[in-house]
Structure 1
């Protein structure tokens, strides 16, 4: 038997009827609707058996009253062997009771041989063939779906409102370790009656998913994902469900959780160790820097005293040595002071307050007036500079270092030109300190804010190499950022960006 019905398909029909005239009538009637009709006339049991064995027909038309049997038995034999093969009874010898019994047995249609009724035969055949094709296709899809579910080891089940299991597939029984549907019903591990009641309270679509750890019949446990929905079936609302083994996924999730907890604990431990090490290092640096200043002050004091008392008695060479000792001790003292400042920036609290940048810059410029006058520098202040949230002491140190660098890193034969201006941004102020100095090459710009990072010898441009590191540390502690734009021989544009007062 072919599996689908197409427009140009050959239609093969068994005609089971003792009356030759009726067989001719059936063939003539059907040929009008099905031009490629192939009819096989069945006259006795032997020809019927051969046709059944050959399985070369799409539909059976049978009379009820035949010499060697009757239409009901023909119907039963066809349906028993080929459940999806349509059978139509075309008769004048039946009764209403026979028609009802035949329809219950699976008859597709019942057509009387009366002249006014026989015209229905072609339409009945067409409808029966199309319905049969749909049923076979649905059956194939169901078999394919069931096979796929079994391969995926997904359990399928159906239950009624009382929680009674109506049917299930083998994967359902295997997953829960049951031998039969009755055993699964007796165990009632899913509590389907309660699940049905919960779903019935939901608005359409009445469906839900939940994960649950179930005990199998052998005492072992399995994690499952259960998906359920309420459907109408034969005028009854039933609970349809899928159950899947998710033990591997759950195990992986638990392992990830365990690893996350372990990682978090290790991070906390390492963070605490690092914080303790940093604290110890800062305290050590502060202590060493503080203690070193005492012997340096002694060296400076005795060196100054020797210069005053013996300057007339020493030759030029000895006098130069003594002056270098004094200058080196002063440099070491400045270095230690800068280290103390840098160390304190990491240790002390940094309270902030609204500060007027114009007033602060003018105060710093006033303190640096001797250096400004010495270099005959020109300082241009472009107002307004705005207000920022910052720590006064730290910001003063930052501005002092930036202006000192702008004065220092300018060739001696060039008059320093310094411009101070600001950009008022959304939520912040960006302050620029621009100079006409020697500039910085692009490769070095990412390093100049590091501790002890010097681009020039102290004999050319004196300093400790910590000034810009203090600038960066101080600005970052106040919640800001720092940067530079520069090219060799074309000056530098240093900037600091701090939160504005409006942000609060």
Structure 2
């Protein structure tokens, strides 16, 4: 009987998964997990053959389920069946050992049973391969090792029986028919003290025997001699050929998986297009009609009705902004971002122009400390990053406090980027930069420009440093500080796609200093 663990806090989704798998596996036993305690109890029992998990769980996520399962049972297949993941999550999960990633939609349910069967077959194949490898290792341990001693001109002085068998002769006298100088490397007193080589020894059956020869130059009674060890590595060579064939098969599987991920990508693009065009149209209608009612029929409505319509209009505007931000984040993950020379002075000026209304309403004071350098960046993405960082610096201040924002830049080298230094102001604060799932590969001498944006805002507690760079992570209520909770996620994604890094230094009540690293333009 096949026992499968289903991790999903949605009972309807669990039922659909169970129903789909029962059609393919009649003798199926299912354990359903809806919370952490049930999951910990299930993995403690170690009696399931495969795990199917959602990504977005109220109490955890699919990556944590994957890591917990693999840490206990490295060979247990795990399949992620979700509608809340993305390409980045899929790639990260595959690198962590995920066996398959399937979009949770009616058209993909049929793929679930296929993925489960494939994962179980791969597990069985890996088990057979492991058994075969163990038997091969045992066989190699039992092989005879030949030991010999010869003169520099190839005359065999002594050897053991294993050496004679490896050469295909029965007695020491028969070795005279074998030219050891042609078969083995000839050592001279000026050569290295040891040499290792592989030798191909033709056999009478048109086959070849592979030998590994290790020989040493020694002196015996003032006479230079060659002492050596010979091992039969024919089985090992045959195993290497089998491994090469297995690698070719694995390469084909990688290509198939890549094609599947490309299909998922195209579906994500289609979904983004649908969201952009189909979902935003009714939102615009809701906002427009709410505005019409407030404008043309205000006298016919009481105060409560006017308040409700105002709330409807504001909710529609917020929803439209949220969709725009999600689409921006999605595009950052999929689009190609060619880098070019960008003047940070011009980029900051353009960002401040777009934030002109917010700056005026908040009476914010922006200071550019010195002239900023030129960097390698994607202009539109950099502009989006700067707008989000400057907007946050203006917005997150205590009531009645005039926002004070300072911007400056400094040079850092690749080897120094892991150390968030004191910065321009010389004050040390709690610091953090999120680890990148795809760190850029630059040489240790690569130079970067670190752009700082400092504010006099409310600050961020240290325990929230990691959360603020996630999607939909908000530390304050919508009424206190409006927003969608995606801004810093867009900043992080955009900077990393440009080969840089983002970080923060902050103290509660004393403001924050966000920084981004961008490639310096070499003169």
TM over 0.5: yes
Asked whether 1:303 is paired with 2:290, we answer: yes
Equivalent in the alignment of 1:390:
377
> Following superposition of structure 1 onto structure 2, how do residues 181-330 of structure 1 map, counting pairs within 5 Å?
181-185=172-176, 188=178, 191-195=179-183, 199=186, 204=191, 208-214=195-201, 222-227=209-214, 241-247=228-234, 250=237, 265-330=252-317
Rounded to whole Å, the distance in 1 between the matches of 2:262 and 2:189 is 54
Whether contact under 8 Å (2:344, 2:372) holds in the other structure is: yes
Rounded to whole Å, the distance in 2 between the matches of 1:165 and 1:342 is 74
Rounded to whole Å, the distance in 2 between the matches of 1:205 and 1:393 is 61
Equivalent in the alignment of 2:319:
332
Whether contact under 8 Å (1:354, 1:388) holds in the other structure is: yes
Larger radius of gyration: 1
Whether contact under 8 Å (1:380, 1:420) holds in the other structure is: yes
Rounded to whole Å, the distance in 1 between the matches of 2:218 and 2:390 is 81
TM-score normalised by structure 2 residue count: 0.58
Q: 1:382 to 1:175 in 2, by over 3 A?
A: same
Equivalent in the alignment of 1:156:
148
- Measured on the aligned residues, the alpha-carbon RMSD in Å equals 3.5
Q: 1:312 to 1:271 in 2, by over 3 A?
A: same
> Following superposition of structure 1 onto structure 2, how do residues 27-106 of structure 1 map, counting pairs within 5 Å?
none
CA deviations over 1:348-403 (Å, ceiling 9, x no partner): 22122222212221232233222212112221221122111112211111111111
Rounded to whole Å, the distance in 2 between the matches of 1:498 and 1:205 is 50
TM-score normalised by structure 1 residue count: 0.60
Equivalent in the alignment of 1:417:
404
Equivalent in the alignment of 2:84:
none
Asked whether 1:373 is paired with 2:360, we answer: yes
> C-alpha displacement at 1:274, in angstroms?
3.2
Whether contact under 8 Å (1:472, 1:482) holds in the other structure is: yes
Equivalent in the alignment of 1:352:
339
**Secondary structure of 1:489's aligned partner:** coil
Which residue of the other structure, out of 383, 386, 403, is the alignment partner of 1:399?
386
Query: Which structure 2 segments of 5+ residues have no match?
Result: 1-142, 414-446
Asked whether 1:178 is paired with 2:169, we answer: yes
Query: Which structure 1 segments of 5+ residues have no match?
Result: 1-150
Equivalent in the alignment of 1:15:
none
Rounded to whole Å, the distance in 1 between the matches of 2:454 and 2:337 is 27
Whether contact under 8 Å (2:472, 2:485) holds in the other structure is: yes
Equivalent in the alignment of 2:21:
none
Asked whether 1:436 is paired with 2:427, we answer: no
Equivalent in the alignment of 2:160:
169
Whether contact under 8 Å (2:183, 2:199) holds in the other structure is: no
Equivalent in the alignment of 1:468:
488
**Secondary structure of 2:300's aligned partner:** coil
**Secondary structure of 2:462's aligned partner:** coil
**Secondary structure of 2:470's aligned partner:** coil
